[in-house]
Amino acid sequence: MGNANILVAGSANLDFVVRAAHVPAPGETVLGRELAVFPGGKGANQAVAAARAGAADVRMLVALGDDAFAAQLEAPLRDAGVDASIVRIAASASGSAFICIADDGENSITVAPGANMHLAPEHLPAFGAASHLLMQLEIPLASVHAYAQAARAAGVKVVLNAAPAQVLPRGLLDNVDVLIVNEGELAMLAGGHGGADLSMQCKALGVCCVVVTLGARGALVWRRDQPMIEHPAFAVDVVDTTGAGDVFCGVFTAELAGGVTLEVAMRHAAAASALACTKLGAQSGTPTRVELDRFLADRAQ
Q: Quote the pLDDT of residue 194.
A: 52
Q: Quote the pLDDT of residue 174.
A: 97
Number of CB atoms found within 10 A of residue 255's CB? 26
Q: Quote the pLDDT of residue 81.
A: 94
246 counts as catalytic: yes
Q: Quote the pLDDT of residue 1.
A: 39
Q: Quote the pLDDT of residue 115.
A: 98
Q: Quote the pLDDT of residue 74.
A: 96
Separation CA 224–CA 13 (nearest Å): 35
**Which stretches of the chain drop beneath a pLDDT of 70?**
1-4, 55, 192-196, 301
Of 57, 177, 240, 246, the active-site residue reads 246
Please, what are the domains in the chain?
4-23+33-300 (3.40.1190.20)
Q: Quote the pLDDT of residue 91.
A: 87
Task: Provide the 8-state DSSP code for 280.
Answer: S
- The pLDDT tens digits of the residues spanning 192-202 come to 665 668 899 99
Separation CA 230–CA 48 (nearest Å): 25
Q: Which residues in 21-31 are b (16+ Cβ under 10 Å) and which e?
A: eebeeeeeeee
Number of CB atoms found within 10 A of residue 108's CB? 14
Reduced to 3 states (helix: H, G, I; strand: E, B; else coil), residue 112 is strand
Nearest to 124 by CA among 152, 155, 151, 157: 151
